[in-house]
Amino acid sequence: MKQSVAILGATGSIGQSTLKILADHPDKYHLYAISGFHRIAELVDICLQFQPEVVALPQSHVALFKDLATQKQLKQLPALLVDEAGLVAIASAPEVDVVMAAIVGAAGLSSTLAAVKAGKRVLLANKEALVMAGEIMLAEAKKSGALVLPVDSEHNAIFQCLPQQYFSHRQQNKQPQLGVSRLLLTASGGPFLNFSLEQMQQVTPAQACKHPNWSMGQKISVDSATLMNKGLELIEACHLFAISEHFVTVVIHPQSIIHSMVQYIDGSTLAQMGNPDMCTPIAHALAWPERISTQVKTLDLFEVQTLDFCPPDLDKFPALKLARQSMREGGTAPGILNAANEIAVAAFLQERIKFLDIANLVDAVLQQSQFESTDDDLNVVMAADQCARDKAAQWIRQYGVQ
Ligand code: NAD
Ligand code: MG
């Protein structure tokens, strides 16, 4: 029996890597539904190649989609669902077994949560959704029986290095379980690892988006350059593996060959390694507990030769410190951090604020905010998100370029 797949964010970087794997395994997977937000011509191209039954897109792009479909001679027009309701519908459609949650940012929260509530196998790339509503998401997964599998390369690596029972026996006491003592979350350090603070003051969006090892969407590329990505991943790890931030260490490893590690009480450290290509964790999550082939080049250790490690410099990369503090704080704090960061990154990409202002802005918004318990209530999460966005916009009006 083929597995029926929906890709939320099919036109993005993770979406494209997922499509590559599906194209390699037509005997195992059927692409039932896709969504796209901007690149509508590419959305039509995916339809030409895979003929999905359903497409979710913004209402404002429906006419363009139909025009392009005619121009490109798409034989069968898929059912078109629109806006957030369309995303939620494909995420929870009874025809779907597997949902790839690969929308960027808070925009992916409602559909990712819908997939979890509907008990799907959820391949989780959309880390922001977990940062905002981790407790709600995992509680819902418990109720529905959804299998939430990490696609983020670090979390996928940790998942591979943990004992198999860890996930099912995961308890909420935040202490490491089953002989695990610590998680080591690796980070490349991004394009500015060896820049001085002075040099970092002047960097451009183009420089920030040019990651040394990974090819990714713009937002996560900027997050990797500030190390906010590692901060969000620290929070993601705490939720996914039910562990306190105290047991998660960030390790700078510029080669991105070790994707993360798990340490055990007997002195063992297990690492998952591979060439940096998201097809590996996507294929792993798609097929788990089986393995399927990918076109990723097998690691040649003679070519790699050296693996370097060092601790992160928190003065140069304060975003990581802010993320850890917000996780310690708990409740709405991580969601506020995330919302402020999303606004800050967008403003940096529009050259309205400087690179180092991203962390300054997030810090200012956190300082102006009061944190409360989410009480597993999504309304509380969404209200805190909106309030943080308003504060961030205000900061930009005050200190940014208009
Ligand atoms: P991307 O920018 O390349 O793609 C984002 C996708 O989301 C696109 O399909 C876009 O159309 C869609 N989208 C954007 N705004 C939307 C909105 N408001 N409503 C609905 N859809 C919208 O991003 P990406 O690099 O593929 O990252 C996607 C997610 O995966 C992010 O959460 C990122 O942190 C995570 N992730 C990415 C990588 C990577 O290597 N790219 C690795 C680990 C985790
Ligand atoms: Mg990652």
Express each pLDDT in 29-44 by its tens digit: 999 999 999 999 999 9
Provide the CA 135 distance to its chain's centre, in angstroms.
16
pLDDT tens for residues 11-24?
999 999 999 999 99
Binding site residue list for Mn(2+): 152, 154, 233
Instruction: Compute, in angstroms, the gap from residue 17 CA to the centroid of ligand 2.
Output: 15
CB 293 within 8 A of CB 268: no
Residue 223: name the closest of 273, 187, 253 by CA.
187
The pLDDT, as a whole number, for residue 173 is 65
The atom number, within ligand 1, closest to the CA of 38 reads 11
Task: State what percent of residues in the chain have pLDDT above 70.
Answer: 99
Tokens 């998942």 appear where? Answer: 159
Phi and psi at 59, nearest 5°, equal -50, -40
pLDDT tens for residues 80-109?
999 999 999 999 999 999 999 999 999 999
Confidence of residue 47 (pLDDT cuts 50, 70, 90): very high
In whole angstroms, give the CA distance from residue 386 to residue 145: 30
Indicate whether 258 pLDDT > 90: yes
CB 31 within 8 A of CB 22: yes
Per DSSP bridges, beta strands 54-57 and 29-35 are parallel
Q: What is the DSSP string of 354-383?
A: -TTHHHHHHHHHHHH------TT-HHHHHH
Indicate whether 212 pLDDT > 90: no
Q: Does 102 sit in the ligand 1 pocket, CB within 6 Å?
A: yes
Q: Which ligand is nearest to the CA of 276?
A: 1
Element of type H or E holding 346 = helix 333-349
The atom number, within ligand 1, closest to the CA of 11 reads 9
Domains in the chain, ordered, with CATH?
3-150 (3.40.50.720), 152-324 (no CATH), 330-402 (1.10.1740.10)
Q: Does 9 sit in the ligand 1 pocket, CB within 6 Å?
A: yes
In whole angstroms, give the CA distance from residue 363 to residue 365: 6
Per DSSP bridges, beta strands 98-101 and 3-8 are parallel
The pLDDT, as a whole number, for residue 166 is 87
292: its two tokens: 């399927």
Instruction: Compute, in angstroms, the gap from residue 104 CA to the centroid of ligand 1.
Output: 3
Confidence of residue 333 (pLDDT cuts 50, 70, 90): very high
pLDDT tens for residues 147-186?
999 999 999 999 999 998 887 766 666 777 889 999 999 9
Q: Which ligand is nearest to the CA of 11?
A: 1
CB 10 within 8 A of CB 52: no
The pLDDT, as a whole number, for residue 363 is 98
In whole angstroms, give the CA distance from residue 260 to residue 269: 10
Q: What is the pTM of this model?
A: 0.98
